[in-house]
Structure 1
Amino acid sequence: MVERHSWAVQQVAGVGQQTVEDGRITVAALATPSGRITSRTGLFPAAAAPAAVTATTPTANGFVHVAPFRGVVQSQRGGGAYLMCLDAIKDINVLGTAPADASNPRNDLIVAQQSDAYFADADSEFRVRHVVGTPAATPVDPPVTGSADYITLARIVVPANATTITTSNITSFDVARTVAAGGILPVTDATARSGVASPYAGQAVYRLDTKRVEVHDGTDWRVPSIPVVAATSEISNPITGQLIMLSPTNIVQRWTGSTWVDAFPIGGTTNATRHEARYYRTTTQSIPNNIDQRVHLPDADYLSDDVSSTAVGNGTEFTLNRTGLWQLSANIRFVSTGSAAERAVAIAGSPTASRYAQAASDQTGEPCSLSCTTTRRFNAGDKVSMWAYQNTGAAVNLDQLGNGVNMSLTWLRG
């Protein structure tokens, strides 16, 4: 029938009687869906490990022990799901039921199985039971007879001639979790998350591996808020504008729709993401007497797309490609001439009437080193250069020792 009798209604004149299948379908609506009228098979989360299969401790024997749990099994044979419960530890005598083979190991299983006379089973019982395998040189898992509605909890490898079952003989399976409808579903990793059947928009999971909540938007799983990640690859399906915090660098990045970029102007390690540039020269440059000379800086320690350089005359002109607050620094060194005269360095536009910073000295005898710095707002397209001046009466060379003739241009903020 299309319409199912609701849970629960009173029967009137023989009408409204609810079948067990009606009951399963309606009550199972309270569990995580796996489709329009199906529920997700799995164990309900608990503080301890639900349904854990363990060996006897501290002294092993032939028993294993199954921890209490509650769970859901979607029926493979009809509508609805079974809500199951083991309310106390169950002890299973593995070797007492089936002693170890003298020559070969075998694989046994521990399953949680629901039988149902409604589907012509012998009874309608929920059992946590031991399924005995066949000894072989290379054993395989045995088939589970009876009802197809079960969850496999663990595999026990019984060695040849075994007299005890130890922890090393038990492999507990990563049984999926299920929760109440609308609840946040714990999943072990991305693979388990992908195993969530027919996710709906707004469904949430908690990734145990990343310790993050992810929400399905009807198309894919997304990470809300600003997650802390070791690498951008941890976010498999970012949406445009998604923010992340990279733990190795403490840098916040933003997804543009095609790539990750710095969300805030704190710089990176590529020309596109770095906001500072430093230029220098490795050879001498002659500065004529009593003339402002633009300094030529053909070499670079690092570059930025925020700055462009162009050779102008015998010097270098820099174009600032980003509007905002900039810090500009210039360092210069004149060779020794023995003449008492002015030597100067300036950061200026073109012409040099627009001087943003300068320094001068009348030092005599030794090489003369000068520095100047300015912090100032510029507009995109503004041009600046490093200028040198001296009036010793003759041309004077700049001293390139240790790359001491250099200029740094750093964009600070908008």
Structure 2
Amino acid sequence: MTVRAAWLLPEGQTREDTRLTLAALLTPSGQSAEETPLRSRAGVLPGGLLLNGGAPMQATVGTGRAIVQGKDTAQGAYLVAVTAPETLTIEDGNAQYDRIDLIELAVVDDAYDRTGTTEAVVRLVKGQPSATPVVPPSPAGSTLPLYTIKVPKGTSAGTGGIAWATAVTPQHWPVVALGGIMPTSGYKGAYTGQYRDAAGILQRWDGTTWVSYPKAIGGIAPSGTAAGSHTGQFRDTGSGLQRWDGAAWQYTEGTSKVLFGASQWTTAQQQTLAANTWTAISLPTVEFDDASAFNGTTTYTVPRTGWWRLNGHATYANDAQTGMRGARITVNGTNQPRTTWLSPAGNGAVCVGGSALVRLAAGDALQLQGYHTHTASVRTLGGSGYSCTLAAEWIRS
């Protein structure tokens, strides 16, 4: 028969009938299209079959439940329960080489394996000592690997035994009933709409990959989501929101500001500027720098692409009353027509500068520069309410 049902026939229901039909309650394998319809995902129900190294050369596998998929698809899946701890003794290490031993859960079914034995067992498979040891192959039966144990050469109870904290590597993976939320493992999803718990983040299998929840319209994606699922989706960056524009994450107006301001405002900080040359002005006092993007002296590196409001002012001491005084904000060392200001000198302090809206790209370097045309050097002025200042505020993408 190719169509089977459990508890339908008045007599003659086989063990295969029962295994194959009960597998409708289990998560499909999902590792290939050929496997999915009839093969179940093998694994251990969360929290079961834990290994404990209680003695130098003995390991105990605790109680638990598991699913062992038959080698032959027609076998169906075996539901296995270990109802009492199983203790296994590790043979002493080889005198010359390391080896790797395997602990596995096996179902040996004579109807398929032709071994003369029918049983479910937790068994230890001894590996071969080698300069490059590998995991040994499993004997007959349908198996689920549980743990590998590295046995260094010369290991014995007399030398302290197995270093359980470092020698054991888990090989099994979790399994839940169909529709259950599964702990993270390296397995692909078995069907579109399956969920798993990825270290506290719920993820959904979309048929191709695991996608962090929520993905639906209106859901705010967690920080680290590489790409949005739809135009207009928002992502939490930890310090504000970004909007997916169909190609990239953009910061949104009013949801996350970036502010910067630095000054040269005391007499001790004043700077001497040579004539007829634009000179970067040192700004040692930082009022605010949300993105930690200022180098501490003259240069602010733009952390975010978009429209910025820039303010720059240079104040000059009354060293002379002739020539022009200037200030400008450069982008990557280049003069910007909207951010260049000149004023004639006068009898007293001269403050030159202004503000402008400028579109900048992440990585652009901003500087406040000063300039004058007097015949000798002129100092900047700080103190008594005067300063040289550069400020920047991100407005929108």
Report TM bin, short chain. Answer: 0.5 to 0.7
Contact 1:45 1:177 in 2 (8 A): yes
Match of 1:159 in 2: 153
Distance in 2 separating the partners of 1:52 and 1:262 = 47
Matched, 1:4 2:4: yes
Tell me which of 109, 113, 135 is aligned to 2:129. Answer: 135
Q: Shift in Å at residue 71 of structure 1?
A: 1.4
Q: 1:413 to 1:170 in 2, by over 3 A?
A: closer
**Which amino acid letter does the alignment assign opposite residue 110 of structure 1?**
I
Q: 1:104 to 1:244 in 2, by over 3 A?
A: same
Q: Shift in Å at residue 144 of structure 1?
A: 1.3
Contact 1:109 1:156 in 2 (8 A): no
Q: 1:273 to 1:44 in 2, by over 3 A?
A: farther
Q: Secondary structure at the match of 2:130?
A: coil
Q: 1:54 to 1:223 in 2, by over 3 A?
A: same
Matched, 1:203 2:194: yes
Q: Shift in Å at residue 151 of structure 1?
A: 2.4
Q: Shift in Å at residue 54 of structure 1?
A: 2.6
Q: Shift in Å at residue 73 of structure 1?
A: 1.9
Q: Secondary structure at the match of 2:73?
A: coil
Q: 1:158 to 1:172 in 2, by over 3 A?
A: same
Distance in 2 separating the partners of 1:368 and 1:31 = 81
Match of 1:72 in 2: 67
Matched, 1:86 2:82: yes
Q: Shift in Å at residue 222 of structure 1?
A: 1.7
Distance in 1 separating the partners of 2:169 and 2:66 = 16
Contact 1:296 1:311 in 2 (8 A): no
| Structure 1 unpaired stretches of 5+ | 285-294, 303-308, 317-332, 338-365, 379-398
Matched, 1:40 2:41: yes
Matched, 1:217 2:216: no
Match of 2:305 in 1: 272
Q: Shift in Å at residue 134 of structure 1?
A: 2.7
Match of 2:103 in 1: 110
Matched, 1:182 2:179: yes
Tell me which of 239, 243, 247 is aligned to 2:229. Answer: 239
Q: Shift in Å at residue 215 of structure 1?
A: 0.9
Q: Secondary structure at the match of 1:24?
A: helix
Q: 1:19 to 1:276 in 2, by over 3 A?
A: farther
Distance in 1 separating the partners of 2:88 and 2:316 = 86
Distance in 2 separating the partners of 1:166 and 1:63 = 11
Q: 1:88 to 1:369 in 2, by over 3 A?
A: same
Q: State TM-score, norm by structure 2.
A: 0.63
**Which amino acid letter does the alignment assign opposite residue 160 of structure 1?**
G
Q: Secondary structure at the match of 1:149?
A: strand
**Which amino acid letter does the alignment assign opposite residue 256 of structure 1?**
D
Percent identity of equivalent pairs:
25
> Cα RMSD over matched residues?
4.1
Distance in 1 separating the partners of 2:389 and 2:204 = 51
Tell me which of 7, 19, 22 is aligned to 1:24. Answer: 19
Tell me which of 339, 342, 349 is aligned to 1:367. Answer: 349
Match of 1:288 in 2: none
Q: Shift in Å at residue 274 of structure 1?
A: 5.2
- Which one has a bigger Cα radius of gyration? 1
**Which amino acid letter does the alignment assign opposite residue 44 of structure 1?**
L
Tell me which of 321, 329, 332 is aligned to 1:299. Answer: 329
Distance in 2 separating the partners of 1:101 and 1:367 = 88
Contact 1:106 1:135 in 2 (8 A): yes
Distance in 1 separating the partners of 2:390 and 2:125 = 78
Match of 1:382 in 2: none
Contact 2:341 2:354 in 1 (8 A): no
Matched, 1:255 2:256: no
Distance in 1 separating the partners of 2:56 and 2:304 = 66
Q: State TM-score, norm by structure 1.
A: 0.61
Q: Shift in Å at residue 297 of structure 1?
A: 6.2
Which residues in structure 2 correspond to 1:306-385 (within 5 Å)? 337=347, 366-367=348-349
**Which amino acid letter does the alignment assign opposite residue 18 of structure 2?**
G
Q: Secondary structure at the match of 2:106?
A: strand
Q: Secondary structure at the match of 2:22?
A: helix
Q: 1:409 to 1:130 in 2, by over 3 A?
A: closer
| Structure 2 unpaired stretches of 5+ | 30-35, 215-219, 259-301, 318-324, 358-378
Distance in 1 separating the partners of 2:253 and 2:85 = 55
Q: Secondary structure at the match of 2:23?
A: helix
Contact 2:100 2:136 in 1 (8 A): yes
Q: Secondary structure at the match of 1:133?
A: coil
Distance in 1 separating the partners of 2:87 and 2:66 = 19
**Which amino acid letter does the alignment assign opposite residue 277 of structure 1?**
L
Distance in 2 separating the partners of 1:334 and 1:367 = 11
